[in-house]
Structure 1
Amino acid sequence: MNKAFFKSLMTTQLPIAWIAGVRLNQWEENKVSTKVKFGFLNQNPFKSMFWAVQGMAAEFSSGLMVNAKIQSSGEDISMLVIGMQAKFLKKAVGKIIFTCDQGEEIEAAIREAVATKQGVMLTVKSRGVDEQNDIVSEFEFTWTFKVR
């Protein structure tokens, strides 16, 4: 994954996230981060970032890694978010970076789904931090994996 491919994916598959300002920040084998900058198009009436924009950026940080791990497994596996929880700890203004660093756990869940041919659920966390490195929000996404 690189920034050009991410832009292509976003503008063709989910343009609302691109318009809201969701961008790829960093890609590593077991850690993916996205960023979004507070602005006119993603604000709420309280002069902070709308919670759904934070949710999109957070989901992408986990979902991109989930998709990459499925592709590298070589198996035909479905992936789906079946649950989400969020905590909002500080007003989201400025640039917010959402990071998911659970690549190894995602890989293990995919291996389990392949080995057992059963659906496997995994809750993955994405934490959003501001430019002062303060946590502004935390999202937990429950992903399910199943071999088709």
Structure 2
Amino acid sequence: MPDLQVLKTTWAIRLFALTRIPLIALIRPTILRADDQTCIVRVPLSWVVKNHLRSMYFGALCIGADLAGGLMIMNLIRERKSRVAFLFKDFQADFLKRAEGATVFTCNDGPLLLELLEKAESSGEREEGTVTVTATCPDKLGSEPVAAFRLTISMKKR
């Protein structure tokens, strides 16, 4: 049975997405883990996210990477009641294999994001850092990556 906190986080992000960024809600992400170290997001392979080759469309893969990196920083900002705004400044992707099943996006850069947030809070200046997100299709390819992403996050105290 799924952890209650994981279910709450999944529904909270879906509600947020529905009201603020409907495109995220459309892909129906599930949060598998979200803590101060790691964020793991699963995006099912459905007709909404498939391309003409019946694998996951690259735009859906990018949304999954955005969520894995962005949700962690959103949680840190909320927990600390911080007045820091963030956005993605740069986005790089390496598509290694076709994602032919539900895809899991993992970001393990919690400590880096916390350090970046603390610097932005204390300096009042814009601070930037790059997080990595790895995408896998566990049902089809096990732990072999199908894509690797590097997202540069820019933060500044409001």
TM-score bucket (shorter structure): over 0.9
Match of 1:64 among 53, 67, 71: 71
What do residues 42-93 of structure 1 show as CA deviations (whole Å, max 9, x unaligned)?
1111221100101101111110111111222333111011100000011101
Match of 2:133 among 115, 120, 126: 126
The code of the aligned residue for 2:153 comes to W
TM-score, length-scaled by structure 1: 0.92
The root-mean-square deviation of aligned C-alpha atoms, in Å, is 1.4
What is the match of residue 32 of structure 1? 39
Structure 2 unmatched ranges of 5 or more: 1-7
Contact 1:22–1:56, Cα closer than 8 Å, also in 2: no
What is the match of residue 3 of structure 2? none
Match of 1:146 among 125, 133, 156: 156
- Equivalent-residue separation in structure 2 for 1:79 and 1:6 (angstroms): 17
TM-score, length-scaled by structure 2: 0.87
Match of 1:89 among 82, 88, 96: 96
Q: How many aligned residue pairs are there?
A: 148
What is the match of residue 5 of structure 1? 12
Q: State the percentage of identical aligned residues.
A: 21
What is the match of residue 77 of structure 1? 84
Q: Tell me: CA distance 1:3–1:21, structure 2 relative to 1, closer, same or farther (3 Å).
A: closer
- Equivalent-residue separation in structure 2 for 1:71 and 1:51 (angstroms): 30
Structure 1 unmatched ranges of 5 or more: none
